[in-house]
Structures are given as structure tokens and as C-alpha cells.
Chain A
Amino acid sequence: MQGLITFLCGTLFAAGLVLSGMTLPAKIIGFLDIFGEWDPTLAFVMGGAVMVHLGFHQLFKKRERPLLASEFHLPDRTEIDYKLLGGSAIFGIGWGLGGFCPGPGIVSVVSTSPESILFFVGMLVGILFYHLIVALYKIPEAG
């Protein structure tokens, strides 16, 4: 049951990404072009998502465990450090370059467009490269 729900959540998430326009780099870049020809419509994507999810968390706050699983798996990092800010800065540059972030970068692969495939491959390379560096230099990291 948990497995089916997880799978369906993935499908629902993809539906949201595609319908909202997040799989269209042109739309993302238009949204980021606030000093040029700004297309603000994608603001409603994060807005709509947070509206629903924040509301959900407010209602769900008091629970000690999920409905099906045995525990919540929450992130445990608390520091505001170079990893958070530097990493976010680098991610943002990539997002502005290609117009894809991770979710759309995965979903768009089904189109088999060369752009989406190269982005996805690049993303895997970036992920692996990061963790290779962490392992080689034994950089302390959480999670």
C-alpha cells in the first residue's frame, strides 16, 4: 500500500510539473527574466504548492507518526553555512543556464529530446562528482 501510494505521488508530482509548465525551459527563463521580458506566471507554481503543503503541515502538525510508515524522516541539518548557500548559488546558476531543475530534469527525459537527456546526464555527473569529492577529501557532511 505504501509502495503504491509512493508511486502515485510520483505520478501526481509529474502531473503538477508538466501541467504547470515547469518542463518548459523557455517558461522558466521567462520567469527568471525579471529585468527583461518577465513572465510571472510560474510564481503561482511555488505559490500553489506551498499554499497546499503549508496548510497541510499546519493541520498535520500534532501527529507523532505518519499514517502508514512508522516514523517521519526529517532533514537533520540546522546550520546556515557555506554548503547551504554556496550549493544553492551553484544550483541557481545551473537553473538559469538550462531552465531545468531536478524534477523537470528527470520527467523531461521521457521526451528523449537531446537537451533533456544531456541535462539529466549532466545532473548525474554533478551528483557523482560532488560525492566523490566529499569521499576523497573526507569533508564532514550530514545526510
Chain B
Amino acid sequence: MVNSPFFLPLVGGMLIGLSASILYACNGRIAGISGILGRLVRKKPNPQWRILFLAGLLAGGVLFLFLTPEQFIIEVQRSVIVFLMAGTFVGFGTQLANGCTSGHGVCGLSRLSLRSLLATLTFMSTAIMTVWFINNFWEGKI
């Protein structure tokens, strides 16, 4: 079972769920990354917890960069500049939608939110369509 390709995604997902649960149980806050970053950028009140959470994210990143460096290798058929554009869409869209894969997809669905269900179905659909588009009109590389 440990060798199954589903094992690490499942365990990783459960850790994400656990993190969100502890954050909510103890501090009453939603672990929605786009919201945390967005509200920090807008200098909304009580930035301390957002700074601490992001610092923890980065610290975890550094730790795992040493433990599992292979998980940071970029191996996609995308030119480097596409990442700039992708980031802009993600940044803009998540602010407009007030959530992302963690905010709507994990936290919202777990709270049985209809808004989050519709948001998740929508971003999954356009993400799938985008990949399909790139594969069929640009032969998978842009």
C-alpha cells in the first residue's frame, strides 16, 4: 500500500486537512492560501497570524527542499514566461472568487458550502479545458 502511487497524495492531502482543522479548531481561521496572501497584501487587520502561517509554509518548504528535493523539480513543457502569465491569472482569479483550491476546494467543501462546490467545479473545469486546449492546439507545449 505504501508503494502505491496513491499513498503519498493521500497522506499529503490528509496532512493538509489536518493543518486546516487545527488552524480552525485553535484559532478559528480558514486555511485558504489565496485569502491569507491577498489579505496580507491589502494590509487587512490582524496580519500577524497570516505572517506566521506563511512563514510556516516557507519553513516547511525549506525543510522539504532538503528532505525531498525531487518534489521541486519543474518538468513541464512550458516556457518560463508562461509561469508569469499563469501566476497573474491565478492571483487575479482567486481574489475575484475569494478562494482557491485550499479555500474553496478543501475548506469550503468540508463546510458543505454550495459556493465552494460551484467554485471548485468551475476552476476544475477551466483548468482541464486549458490543458486540453494546450495539448490539442499547441501540441502540449507553450
Contacts and interface: CB of A to CB of B under 8 A. Distances in A.
Interface of A: 2-3, 5-26, 29, 32-36, 41-54, 56-57, 60, 65-75, 77-80, 83-103, 105-111, 113-116, 118-131, 142-143
Contacts of B125: 89, 92
Contacts of B15: 12-13, 15-16, 19-20
Chain A residues touching B, majority SS: helix
**Which of B56, B62, B118, B128 counts the most A-chain CB atoms under 10 A from its CB?**
B56
Contacts of B122: 84-85, 88-89, 92
A123 B68 contact: no
B93 A49 contact: no
Contacts of A36: 131-132, 135
A29 B90 contact: no
Interface residues of B, number: 109
Contacts of A87: 92-98, 119
A127 B95 contact: yes
Interface of B: 5-6, 8-31, 33-35, 37-38, 41-42, 48-49, 52-65, 68-69, 71-76, 78, 80-102, 104-107, 109-112, 114-115, 118-120, 122-135, 142
B76 A25 contact: yes
Contact of B64 (A18, A66, A124): A18
A103 B102 CA distance: 8
Contact of A125 (B17, B60, B87): B87
22 contacts: A14-B61, A19-B11, A20-B15, A22-B12, A24-B72, A35-B135, A56-B110, A85-B97, A86-B93, A88-B123, A92-B129, A95-B101, A96-B131, A97-B78, A97-B86, A97-B89, A109-B58, A110-B58, A115-B74, A119-B83, A119-B90, A130-B96
Nearest to A113: B74
A130 to B, nearest CB: 4
A15 B60 contact: yes
B28 A72 contact: yes
A18 B12 contact: yes
Given A25-B76, A68-B26, A85-B119, A143 B98 contact: yes
